Structure 1
Amino acid sequence: MYPASFWFEVPSSAYVFLIVINLFIGITATVATFLLQLFEHDKDLKVVNSYLKSCFLIFPNYNLGHGLMEMAYNEYINEYYAKIGQVDKMKSPFEWDIVTRGLVAMTVEGFVGFLLTIMCQYTFLRQPQ
């Protein structure tokens, strides 16, 4: 968010605008993929959901929300499998499709964001005034 604050005249209005945009994107993307996941029997919607999940990886707030939802759902299913005695069907929360993909994406985004911040701070990307 810090590099994007240079696009605005007043830093406080930049942060308010960016917080609202981040909340909107995170909530909308997470709810959209969750709702599409309910209709996985439809092949077209399954393809759309898979595509959206890949596209939304660029948003850290989506990765956090989706990762928490997937982790909670996985824990719920694992408890069910433990109760009925099918321990072999239990999944680790660190499987690629559950949490690890989002963690890797957030790590890459963290490094890219850090580099952008350093470049903005040392005026590599800023226009001379």
Structure 2
Amino acid sequence: MESIRQCGVALCIVLGFSILSASIGSSVFFYLVSVSLCVAIIVAFQLTAFTFRENLAATALLLALFGYATLPWMYLMSRIFSSSDVAFISYISVNFIFGLCTMLMTIMPRLLAIISKAQNLQNIYDVLKWVFTIFPQFCLGQGLIELCYNQIKYDLTHNFGIDSYVSPFEMNFLGWIFVQLASQGTILLLLRVLLHWDLLQWK
């Protein structure tokens, strides 16, 4: 039950960082400070799903890469609006909608597939999981949820002497999410520079 409760914590982290990444503007430094504070809180409250073995390092990397992927996107989106207030509210809304909706659209088929053992639902989940990786918000939420699932599986099997823990850095686990976030951040950053070449010019 403790690990299940921490799945709810993961959802709260997604929402919190969706709002936080918009409020810090262009400062990567302050974003990394917020990541450090979040990690410190996780450690202080000993949230096992995010601190067990390599999970803490994976959580910190996941949050940092989320910022790397979303900050350039925020800059690009801000140019659409004439008012910074409207851009701020719109960015929070987009983050929240993309993060929450994509996670719900994948969690429901997965849970139903586990309960009903229906292969078609599992296939739907597998397809959606890959399609939605174009959204950094989904990558963050999916990564945190996968850490919770991994911990739940370990807790259930550990009492039987089975170590089912999977390293979050394996490519077939969270490795693909790390690659996706890093790729998205790099592409959006290059796009930001190409569209606004004046950023590289000295004034």
| Smaller-chain TM-score bracket | 0.7 to 0.9
How far the C-alpha of 1:39 sits from its partner, in A, is 2.1
1:9 to 70, 82, 85: 82
How far the C-alpha of 1:118 sits from its partner, in A, is 1.2
For normalisation by structure 2, the TM-score amounts to 0.56
Cross-structure match for 1:56: 132
Larger Rg: 1
How far the C-alpha of 1:5 sits from its partner, in A, is 1.4
Q: Which deviates further from its counterpart, 89-98 or 73-82?
A: 89-98
Coordinate RMSD, CA, aligned: 1.6
The amino acid across from 1:73 in the alignment is Y
For normalisation by structure 1, the TM-score amounts to 0.85
Which structure has more relative contact order (CA 8 Å, sep 6+)? It is: 2
Cross-structure match for 1:126: none
Cross-structure match for 1:78: 154
Cross-structure match for 1:43: 119
Cross-structure match for 1:22: 95
| Inter-CA distance 116–15: structure 2 relative to 1 (3 Å threshold) | farther
1:103 to 178, 187, 200: 178
Structure 1 runs (4+) deviating above 6 angstroms are none
The percent identity for this pair of structures is 27
- CA–CA distance in structure 2, aligned partners of residues 97 and 30 of structure 1: 19
Q: Is the 8 Å Cα contact of residues 71 and 98 (structure 1) preserved in structure 2?
A: no
- The C-alpha deviation readout for 1:72-91, integer Å capped at 9, x for no partner, is 1101211322221012x432
- CA–CA distance in structure 1, aligned partners of residues 197 and 125 of structure 2: 40
Structure 2: which 5+ runs fail to align? 1-73, 199-203
The amino acid across from 1:34 in the alignment is I
How far the C-alpha of 1:98 sits from its partner, in A, is 2.8
- CA–CA distance in structure 2, aligned partners of residues 44 and 10 of structure 1: 46
Q: Is the 8 Å Cα contact of residues 3 and 117 (structure 1) preserved in structure 2?
A: yes
The amino acid across from 1:120 in the alignment is L
